[in-house]
């Protein structure tokens, strides 16, 4: 399957290794997961899995994340997964909670939470302490969110169902917010090949309008000095740096540098569509499939 020529041309403006990207964008990703320390001891679980013949490689930036080096297990069908001892999760998806860096006494909002991969990871990093509000707008996605919270033993989380744009109207203010925003998904074409056919510039512009509304709501719901992590699985600047530039210029947000140990990332771009973006945006990170054999991702850590 081919991607659209216009998409190739756009990516060529951002990176100098387009051919490598095009080779990797349709390659099946390795199986990865995290050990759920809310239910099981990490070291004991590693021993248990290795005794069953699992060959594991630790995710470099997250101690509880692992890559299965030989794909001979359907992880979702294992007893360990059923019991909530492990959770299948793509490596790039583990980045936003790590960048958020939640603490045990934090009050946190996960604004677009379903199916709960990042929510349950945040709860794990908080040792089930503090409080998380896991919000999802669509009722059809609530089942997976609630099921995963229950299966993984999460007890510090309240589930809400509302449009994320309305959090700005509530009196509660959060220490930290994760906005893993709805997006066009061009970083995960390997998971959804139809995106290569259906994506258009208009799609990204439409998503960017929604993303700006959501990030504005998130900023208003954030305490002073609070942290907002904005992420997408899109490689499109309209949905990534341009949204962060909006948060910086409209609301005075600061963008902190993000560094992931042993994992290649690229700086955010500061010029797009004939417009200069804030230099702050350079502190965002772009994750490309060809760099670490993961999906494509964009992550920014903003401080109010």
User: pLDDT by residue (tens digit) across 83-92?
Assistant: 999 999 999 9
Average pLDDT over residues 34-44: 98
Q: Report, as residue numbers or ranges, the catalytic residues.
A: 233
Is residue 286 located within the same domain as residue 171? yes
Query: 205 and 81 in one domain?
Result: no
> What rounded mean pLDDT belongs to the chain?
96
Q: Clarify whether residues 193 and 78 are in a common domain.
A: no
Instruction: Kindly report the CATH number assigned to the domain that includes residue 46.
Output: 3.30.70.1170
Distance CA 278, CA 73 (A): 46
pLDDT surpassing 80 at residue 73:
no
**pLDDT (0 to 100) of residue 88:** 97
Helix H segments across the chain? Answer: 5-14, 18-24, 42-51, 79-82, 95-100, 117-125, 142-151, 195-198, 201-220, 241-251, 289-292
Instruction: Look up the domain containing 23 and give its range.
Output: 5-29+90-303
Taking 80 as the threshold, does the pLDDT of residue 130 lie above it? yes
Co-location of 68 and 101 in the same domain: no
Please check the confidence at residue 70 and state whether its pLDDT lies above 90: no
Using only C-alpha atoms, the chain has a radius of gyration, in whole angstroms, of 19
64 and 108 belong to one structural domain: no
pLDDT value at residue 230:
98
pLDDT band at 2 (very low <50, low <70, confident <90, very high): confident
| Same domain (yes/no): 38, 174 | no
Domain boundary among 89, 113, 131: 89
Per cent of the chain over pLDDT 90 is 97
Q: Which of 42, 74, 89 is the last residue of a domain?
A: 89
Q: Percent of the chain at pLDDT above 70? A: 99
Residues 168 and 19 in one domain: yes
Instruction: Give the sign of the dihedral formed by CA 27, CA 210, CA 197, CA 245.
Output: negative
Same domain, 113 and 222: yes
> CATH number for the domain including 268?
3.40.50.150
- Is residue 289 within 8 A of residue 297, CB to CB? The reply is no
Same domain, yes or no: 169 and 67: no
As a whole number of angstroms, the distance between CA 258 and CA 287 comes to 12
CA 283 and chain centroid, separation? 17
Do 65 and 18 sit in the same domain of this protein? Answer: no
Q: Mark whether 59 and 206 lie in a shared domain.
A: no
104 Cβ contact partners less than 8 Å away, ≥ 6 residues apart: 126, 127, 129, 130
Pair 12, 46 in one domain: no
- For 156-166, what is each residue's pLDDT tens digit? 999 999 999 99
pTM for this one?
A: 0.97
Number of domains in the chain: 2
- Please compute the mean of the pLDDT values over residues 107-114 and round it to a whole number: 98
Domain boundary (64, 89, 114) is at 89
At 265-299, the pLDDT tens digits run: 999 999 999 999 999 999 999 999 999 999 999 99
* Whether residue 1 has pLDDT greater than 80: no
202-252 pLDDT tens trace: 999 999 999 999 999 999 999 999 999 999 999 999 999 999 999 999 999
- Write the DSSP assignment of 96-141 as a string of letters: HHHHH---TT-EEEETT-TT-HHHHHHHHHTTT-SEEEEE-S-GGG
Q: Could you tell me if 68 and 32 are in contact, meaning their C-beta atoms sit under 8 angstroms apart? A: yes
């Amino acid at each position: 399957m081919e991607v659209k020529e216009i998409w190739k041309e756009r990516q060529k403006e951002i990176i100098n290794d387009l051919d490598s990207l095009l080779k990797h964008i349709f390659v099946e990703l390795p199986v990865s997961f995290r050990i759920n320390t809310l239910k099981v001891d990490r070291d004991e679980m590693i021993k248990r899995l290795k005794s069953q013949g699992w060959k594991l490689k630790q995710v470099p930036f997250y101690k509880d994340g692992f890559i299965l080096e030989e794909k001979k297990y359907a992880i979702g069908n294992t007893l360990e997964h059923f019991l909530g001892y492990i959770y299948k999760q793509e490596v790039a998806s583990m980045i936003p909670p790590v960048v958020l860096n939640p603490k045990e006494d934090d009050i946190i909002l996960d604004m677009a939470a379903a199916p709960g991969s990042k929510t349950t990871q945040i709860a794990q990093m908080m040792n089930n302490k503090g409080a998380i509000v896991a919000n999802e707008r669509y009722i059809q996605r609530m089942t997976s969110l609630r099921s995963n919270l229950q299966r993984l033993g999460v007890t510090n989380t309240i589930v809400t169902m509302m449009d994320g744009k309305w959090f700005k109207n509530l009196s509660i203010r959060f220490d930290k917010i994760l906005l893993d925003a709805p997006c066009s998904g061009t970083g995960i074409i390997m998971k959804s090949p139809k995106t290569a056919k259906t994506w258009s510039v208009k799609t990204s512009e439409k998503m960017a309008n929604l993303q700006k509304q959501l990030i504005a709501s998130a900023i208003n719901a954030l305490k002073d000095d609070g942290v907002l992590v904005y992420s997408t699985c899109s490689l499109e600047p309209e949905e990534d740096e341009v949204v962060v530039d909006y948060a910086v210029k409209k609301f005075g947000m600061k963008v902190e540098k993000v560094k992931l140990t042993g994992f290649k990332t690229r700086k955010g771009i500061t010029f797009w569509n004939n417009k200069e973006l804030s230099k702050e945006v350079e502190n965002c990170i772009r994750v490309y499939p060809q760099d670490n054999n993961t999906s494509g991702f964009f992550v920014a850590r903003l401080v109010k």
